[in-house]
Structure 1
Amino acid sequence: AADRGVNKADTATLVASDNVAGGKLAAKALADKLGGKGSIVVLQGTPGTSASRERGAGFTEGIKAYPGIKVVATQPADFDRTKGLDVMTNLLQGHPGITGVFAENDEMALGAVKALGSKAGKSVSVVGFDGTPDGLKAVEAGTLYASVAQQPKELGKIAVQNAVKAADGEKVAGTVKVPVKVVTRENVADFS
């Protein structure tokens, strides 16, 4: 299996981005940007998916190290840009003073940026996940503070290598974690 776990099926190996580590990296990046204090909201992916579960768990674990940061709302937006916009718009009604957003993918982060308007990148810092082309453009523009970038070429290469080994009857690890990296304006040129 590549990128996502498969429910109720036997697989030789799962090659996926290290989503838990990525969630922790997102928490650290956002907390550092906020100086360790503030009120934030979390936009979750599609409930039940391995990516949402793992990224969320990593972020929750990572943000615990910053007692000055309060998560005031957590809500699913199903990895969708339009839903990210709608959910963020609604959350802003009840939490107008937020200073940060963690979205479990760049699509929802970009929806949140649209909902935030001129606050995005100024009074509210947004961190996404995936390092998509649109996400990287927003990081470059400064509306998205950071994105936790996956390495799809590396993931694909390792998945194929493991598939060949498994097909040849060789023993492969049950899970192979591909590292992720935080992209900010300082290093975005390395990812474009």
Structure 2
Amino acid sequence: MPPYKEGRERMKRKHSVWMMILVALMAVSLIGCGTTQSNLENKDTAKPAGKITIGFSVSTLNNPFFVTLKDGADKAAKAAGADLVVVDAGDNTAKQISDIEDLIQKKVSVLLINPTDSAAVVSAVESANKANIPVITVDRASNGGKVVSHIASDNVKGGSMAADYILKTLGDKGNIVELQGIAGTSAARDRGQGFHNVVDGKAGVKVVASQPADFDRAKGLKVMENILQGNKNIQAVFAHNDEMALGALSAIQAAGKNNILVVGFDATDDAVKAVKDGKMAATVAQKPDLIGKTALETALKVAKGEKVAASIPVELQLITK
């Protein structure tokens, strides 16, 4: 082979060798970079070992009772080192169902649900059942689906306590107004049932009006104003919650009828103050912070595979001056 051709061949072989070395180095570099990125992604997205995440769908945080209930659950979660994801339905059934679906997608360990509507929430409970996520209802029950446990006060007993107090104060006679909660909620149904178990058929006692005000203070005010216009002879009001009771109280004060007894339910701070000031006659204390705490602690037991009672009652207390 001529010398110049031999030299050209040596150059080609050297060039090929260097190209092979360069390609090998690049491959090693890419593999290293890919491994590092994967490790970083895993580090960022991985949950701490043994961390329990509880999802909590609350009917509304525009009500002091449910704010206190949520706070009770939050404190218990922090004490136990668990994550609590709270979503606010804003008293909107469709939003609550959507919120619960989101919590299911997040694969929470257990779902706590405080329904806006006991019937409408059934489909969301069933969705959680299909995803094998345990469901615990709080304060208000679900009309269907599989629920591991229900944490609430005995609302029937609370309604009866309110009625007994009213009748005792009035001497078993008088005209009473009932302000109902949101139709379809177990709380409204049970409190109303307890109230009527005592007053219905009682000689000398008449429920002259029984209307919904949706657990809302402004609606309680408006509904009571309308009732007062058509009924001049009223001795007492039983409201299914304190927000409606306080609304009714404002209407009563504006009408100058300060001799009407007002009894609420929940023992919120505003209501307890009104009782102490002699403006409201009484309120049934449901202890929302204890309900929230009990619900969270029960959820942790369920997440750990422990058995819990199907119904866990939280004690009630009548608050009077």
Give me the TM-score of the superposition, normalised by structure 2. Answer: 0.55
Q: What residue is the counterpart of 1:43 in the other structure?
A: 179
Would the alpha carbon gap of residues 134 and 6 (structure 1) be closer, same or farther in structure 2, given more than 3 Å must change?
same
Map of 2:257 onto structure 1:
119
User: Does the alignment pair 1:98 with 2:98?
Assistant: no
Aligned counterpart in structure 1 of residue 294 of structure 2, from 144, 158, 163: 158
Q: 2:268 aligns with which of 117, 127, 132?
A: 132
What letter corresponds to residue 142 of structure 2 in structure 1?
V
- Write the letter of the residue equivalent to 1:52: A
SS, match of residue 116 in structure 1: helix
Q: How big is the shift at 1:8? A: 4.1
% of aligned pairs identical? 51
Displacement of 1:7 after TM fit? Answer: 4.6
SS at match of 1:119: coil
CA–CA separation in structure 2 for the residues paired with 1:3 and 1:87: 25
Query: Can you list the C-alpha shifts for 1:5-38, whole angstroms capped at 9, x where unaligned?
Result: 2354422101011111100000011111111110
SS in 2 for 1:147: strand
Dislocated runs of 4+, deviation >6 Å: none
For residues 62 and 176 of structure 1, what CA distance do their matches in structure 2 show?
A: 24
| Aligned amino acid, residue 319 of structure 2 | V
Residue 34 (str. 1) matches residue 176 (str. 2): no
- Counterpart secondary structure, 2:138: coil
Output the CA distance in 1 between the equivalents of 2:166 and 2:189.
Answer: 19
Name which of 36, 50, 74 aligns with 2:210.
74
Structure 2 distance, partners of 1:75, 1:2, is 25
Specify which of 107, 116, 119 is matched with residue 243 of structure 2: 107
How far apart are the structure 1 equivalents of 2:159 and 2:201? 13
Is the Cα–Cα contact under 8 Å of residues 31 and 66 in structure 1 kept in the other structure? Answer: no
Q: Secondary structure at the match of 1:92?
A: helix
Which amino acid letter does the alignment assign opposite residue 227 of structure 2?
L
Uncovered stretches (5+) of structure 1, i.e. residues with no partner: 186-192
Q: Which 10-residue stretch deviates more, 21-30 or 9-18? A: 9-18
Shift of 1:154: 2.1
Counterpart residue identity of residue 157, structure 1: K
Which one has a larger percent helix, Structure 1 or Structure 2?
2
Post-superposition offset of 1:106: 0.5
Number of the residue aligned with 1:181: 317
Q: Structure 2: 5+ residue runs without aligned partners?
A: 1-136
Q: TM-score, normalised by structure 1?
A: 0.90
